[in-house]
Amino acid sequence: MGCADAHARVVLLVPPSEEGTAPATWTIQLSQPLPPGGAVRVLSADQNAEYREGWPTPIFLSRSVDGVLKRISDDESGAPRYLIKAIARDPSIDTLDVGKRGVVGQFTVRDAVSCGP
């Protein structure tokens, strides 16, 4: 599940997996909201993008994100759906010494006044 806010920020919430990862978020700040069918290459140099694992104290934090975010067709309730394929490298915090994290999948977002911190 994700969130899209009035500031063109898209946040994907990733629950813990069976492999023992902590709750995580992928946050991508767009210059403007994506229209249906619109896609953007996510590069940290172009957008504010972050992957954070662990809350409130992060165990992995990276702002070196590369990937693609695409808005696909809305679901039956009208909620926007997105496709993401991204990788976070060069973490500033990496207590598990994993080096990188990645995500591939589709998610639905709810609209909000503000997502994330």
Q: In this predicted model, what pLDDT tens digit does every residue of 48-80 receive, in sequence order? A: 899 999 888 899 999 999 999 999 988 888 888
Q: In this predicted model, what pLDDT tens digit does every residue of 36-45 receive, in sequence order? A: 899 999 886 5
Task: Name residue 65's beta-bridge partners.
Answer: 88
Is residue 113 very low, low, confident or very high in pLDDT (cuts 50, 70, 90)? confident
Long-range contacts of residues 18-24, Cβ cutoff 8 Å, at least 24 apart: 21/53, 22/53, 22/54, 22/55, 22/59, 23/53, 23/54, 23/55, 24/51, 24/52, 24/53, 24/54, 24/60, 24/101
